[in-house]
């Protein structure tokens, strides 16, 4: 029997106007924007559709906007009779949307968590950033992870993400990033982010994030969730909670998530999915990728990457 994994994008995928066409043409998607707005006290429609790009890119805005858009796309997909989603995984903040789509969080709770997470990360002390680095492909995933750790150690940085066989992301203090960028040259690209996410520099806000998560009602058992930080499939709320807690300081193990995705016949990306679709390419083989973004004409295979 065919199985589908649902993927949810992370920060950096946002764009002005996201979700506008979808919500205007689909009542289920529109309801998600309304429910999230009521829960957070933010006009999420205005945030996603009318805010200028610089304001939308702010961490405290981007994380809420992306989460709501992804869940609106997921709700539209379900309302449109899409094939069942058998597992859910999200990149960084996308893990919150994945947890909600898998049944562990309500839409309201997911929106509030994304809003809070963005605010906490935006106010973390220190000047830092992130650097995407192209690396040689390795025969074994373990070799790639070891090489990434060695590179981070050489520059006094942390590995923020293993995105695939040819890309890692480094994170840390600005002077160390400057040194790494100068040494790596064309292999490195500075990311447009405000802080050193998924690094030790998020430590000062981690305890508060844990307290917030502990206060949120989470289902004890629901659908299959694949951890962002460990790529382990689970159907237990305690495991989902633990993965979300690790999501500030630990690296995103997206390459391992993509390896786990090989157990599924189809990938379905919800929301702003082009970046996630690109990261999936080395793992696709002949599998179909469906991006649910502007429409949900599922029978016609809309949104293929």
Average pLDDT per consecutive 10 residues, the chain (305 residues; last block may be shorter):
93 93 94 97 96 93 97 95 95 98 98 97 90 78 78 95 92 95 93 90 96 94 96 97 97 95 95 92 90 65 37
The dihedral formed by the CA atoms of 258, 261, 262 and 264, expressed in degrees to the nearest 10 = -160
Spatial contact of 91 and 160, defined as CB atoms under 8 Å apart: no
pLDDT at 296: 58
Domain boundaries, the chain: 4-123+202-300, 128-194
Helix axes 107-122, 203-214, angle to 10 degrees: 160
Q: Which residue has the tokens 């460990």?
A: 230
CB atoms within 10 A of CB 210: 16
CATH among 3.30.70.250, 3.90.1150.10, 3.10.50.40, 3.30.420.40 for 128-194: 3.30.70.250
pLDDT of amino acid 194: 82
Instruction: Tell me, yes or no, if the two domains 4-123+202-300 and 128-194 fold the same way.
Output: no
Q: Helix axis angle, 107-122 relative to 59-79, nearest 10°?
A: 160
* pLDDT at residue 241, rounded to an integer: 97
Domain 4-123+202-300 belongs to what topology? Malonyl-Coenzyme A Acyl Carrier Protein; domain 2 (3.40.366)
Q: Which two tokens stand for residue 168?
A: 């890692």
H/E/C letters for each residue in 51-77?
Answer: CCHHHHCCHHHHHHHHHHHHHHHHHHH
Q: What is the pLDDT of residue 294?
A: 82
The strand pair at 87-90 and 288-292 is best described as unpaired
Tally of CB atoms within 10 A around 217? 9
Q: Can you give the pLDDT at residue 138?
A: 66
């Amino acid at each position: 029997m065919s199985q589908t994994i649902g993927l949810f994008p992370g920060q950096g995928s946002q764009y002005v106007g996201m979700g506008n066409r979808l919500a205007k043409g689909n009542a289920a998607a529109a309801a998600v924007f309304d429910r999230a707005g009521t829960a957070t006290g933010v006009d999420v429609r205005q945030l996603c559709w009318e805010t200028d790009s610089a304001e939308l890119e702010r961490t405290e805005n981007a994380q809420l906007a992306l989460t709501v858009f992804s869940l609106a796309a997921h709700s539209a997909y379900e309302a449109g009779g899409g094939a069942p989603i058998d597992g859910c995984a999200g990149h960084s903040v996308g893990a919150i949307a994945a947890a909600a789509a898998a049944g562990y969080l309500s839409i309201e709770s997911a929106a509030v968590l994304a809003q809070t997470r963005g605010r906490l990360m935006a106010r973390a002390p220190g000047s830092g950033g992130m650097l995407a680095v192209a690396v040689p492909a390795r025969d074994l995933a373990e070799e790639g992870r070891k090489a990434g750790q060695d590179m981070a150690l050489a520059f006094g940085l942390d590995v923020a993400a293993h995105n695939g066989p040819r890309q890692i992301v480094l994170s840390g203090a600005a002077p160390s990033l400057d040194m790494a960028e100068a040494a790596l040259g064309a292999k490195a690209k500075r990311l447009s982010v405000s802080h050193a996410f998924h690094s030790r520099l998020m430590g000062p806000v981690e305890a508060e994030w844990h307290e917030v998560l502990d206060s949120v009602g989470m289902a004890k058992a629901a659908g299959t969730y694949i951890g962002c930080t460990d790529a382990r499939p689970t159907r237990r709320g305690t495991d989902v909670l633990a993965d979300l807690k690790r999501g500030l300081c630990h690296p995103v193990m997206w390459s391992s998530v993509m390896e786990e995705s090989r157990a599924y016949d189809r990938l379905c990306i919800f929301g702003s999915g082009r970046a996630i679709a690109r990261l999936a390419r080395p793992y696709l083989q002949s599998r179909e990728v469906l991006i649910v973004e502007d429409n949900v004409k599922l029978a016609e295979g809309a949104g293929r990457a």
